[in-house]
Amino acid sequence: MFMESENQVVKSIPLDGKLDNRQHVSKEPMPFEELPSDIQKILEDRKEDSKTRKTTLRMMEGKYVLSILCYISQMSPVVKSDIYNNISRANNMPKKIDDLEKLGLIRIYRTAKTNTNVIVITPKGKMVADQIMLMVNTIEKERPDLD
């Protein structure tokens, strides 16, 4: 179901939420191939979008990401092993570090001679880390259990 309004296509499902006459959708699932072509397209686009596009917020909300950024900001330059030793050795830490580089918050220098990765905070990363620390400090000041 598509409605056009000034160069914009709006995708919508009827208010009753039904696309056909089935009484119990969970008991009578419809195969993907039998869905209307416009619904198939929506589902395919949605699936591709969720695989390929990782938003900035999604990257930043991951476990340890804020800690990694603040650590690098305070200790820059660091090597990856410093982060693993002081933050976490979780399997996905390299991906989190790569995400921070994609966001322009850190810069990774790969040295061929020693196979060491040196990580440096960028000016943008420093500004973001300072804002995070400001939030942390504000919250900690208002917590009576920390006195």
Question: pLDDT tens across 8-24, in order?
Answer: 555 555 555 566 666 66
| Total-model pTM | 0.61
State whether residue 117 is helix, strand or coil: strand
Helices (DSSP H) in the chain: which residue ranges?
Answer: 37-52, 56-60, 65-75, 80-86, 93-102, 123-141
Cα–Cα–Cα angle for 18, 21, 22, rounded to 5 degrees = 90
Residue ranges of domains in the chain, CATH in brackets: 2-52 (no CATH), 58-146 (1.10.10.10)
Average of per-residue pLDDT across 134-139: 90
What tens digit of pLDDT does each residue of 65-94 get?
999 999 999 998 999 889 999 998 888 898
